[in-house]
Structure 1
Amino acid sequence: MKFLKILSINLLAVITILSCSEKIEPIATADILDTTLEYEELDIVYGDDENQTFDLYLPADRTVDTKIIILIHGGGWSAGDKAEMDPLKTLLIQDFPDVAIVNMNYRLADGNNKPYPMQTNDISTVIRYLKTNQIKLSISDQLGFIGASAGGHLALLWAYSFDTLQKTNMVCSIVGPTNLTDPNFALAAEESSELDAFLTLFGEDPTVEYLEEVSPLHQVTANAPATILFYGGQDPLIPISQGADLNEKLSKLNVTHEYTLYPEAGHGWTGIEFIDTWTKIKAFTIDNL
């Protein structure tokens, strides 16, 4: 999607300015990895589908208290790749040198495979992988998520609905859908064939119960992790109500959160607004991860 291209370009600019398969196999031998060294492994396989891979970046001098941030790309649940989040990964390594980073792909939806629960199952499988290898990697089980667009939706949904052990400390959604029952979504789909195609992935005539189950707005509780949200006031794909309504509900539930709406921005933004986004993500992560 256009946002992801903008994301990659502008994250690189900010760097300059700010200078569910059960196929889980351990990453290492029986020996613990050398914790004094940085460790990087790309395209770790966690399932049989070609998209079930993730990249892992471990900091030097890590311990069993080292926390993890998981990046989830966008693409309307049916496209995209973890490579689009690489610039954000670079920023995280620069500004959070003590945090482990996972940049994951997930199975892509099509007419025969709905996004849900397939994609949340993939997130669960990656997290089980990390848990299986926790001692070998010298990491904790404490998590944070940053997702863009559809990845923002998946990050929110997993953190609100699937983290039964409450290991997620913070979740960030950048222009992520929050409520698939929102009538404004239907109106927006009438104006955008692209959005209509994305929403149809959840079924030609899905039940209200199913749409509520897949909507972070309907799944969030008072036990939700700290949440930071970003939206554009001129976004042709994501109505303003998607962020505003979740912001309101988080306030009612007394969940720690921040909400930013850039009135003139679309499904992505540049310049001062983007620098503002990263500045807020950085501060929020420091306070809550």
Structure 2
Amino acid sequence: MAYRGRVSHTSPTVVVLTALAVEYAAVRAHVPEREELVHPDGTRVERGRLPDTDWHVVLAELGEGNGTAATLTTQIVSWLKPEALLFVGIAGSLKDDIGIGDVVVGTKVYGIHGGKRTPEGFQVRPEAWPVSNALVSAARSAARDMSGVRAHFKPIASGDVVLADAGSDVARHLRRNYNDAAAIEMEGVGALQAAHLNGQLHALVVRGISDRADPGKHEADAAGSQERAAAQAASVAVAVLRKHRPRASSSNSADSEEGPHRGPAYGGDHIDFRGGVFHGPVTGKRTEQQR
């Protein structure tokens, strides 16, 4: 059933974005019951509860490219007001020790096309978009408990190019200017830029490796590497969400991520409103009746 018009924002929501149908199907398999939501402009997403968590997961298949990702991420975030945003999908490996089926969790994402063309050549103007430390930390914790998944925490390169030639100008550009990047994909910069401009979102990019960004890409894809890589990335993303609690759940928990203290977030003559509309303690005085 499709729901149109205004959407309730009372439940903690995470938006999980994908570019391709194979990526969408891999994440969708973890959300057994879903409803379709339709934005007034026609964008369609599915929403369902992630089992054994407080999260309502909104799934969206955006299509390829950073421009599309930036535009539709902005629209979806403004519409559904999520607490967190993940871009989950496949990528090509840029490192010999990161193989097909491994997962790269982006510690930052580079936009690889920025620069200036001069008579002396192309001068790179690097741009890197940050990810959420809380989500990276949750991913590191989750990865330690996962069997059958090799996770790497490295920068990711993002540009509107499919790289299938390790000797190409693009490959040389990456090795020369972004040599710490472990994987290359096409949407992470757009999604993170939209999340960054929102200013209130935890955001992360999780990519399963489906090829080595070389001429063997076609053979790897034909052998089912995309399905395998997408499934691995989806499993890591779900494990992250099982670790990272919604704000409302965290503030009510004895082992809240909001601080190292345990027990209730109040005591003495101080009431702690962290997790509310503003931050910091509010000092007041209790009457004899309240005592």
After TM superposition, the score normalised by the length of structure 1 is 0.36
Say which structure is richer in helix: 1
Q: Tell me which of the two structures has the higher relative contact order, counting C-alpha pairs closer than 8 angstroms and 6 or more residues apart.
A: 2
After TM superposition, the score normalised by the length of structure 2 is 0.36
Which of 1 and 2 has greater Rg?
A: 2
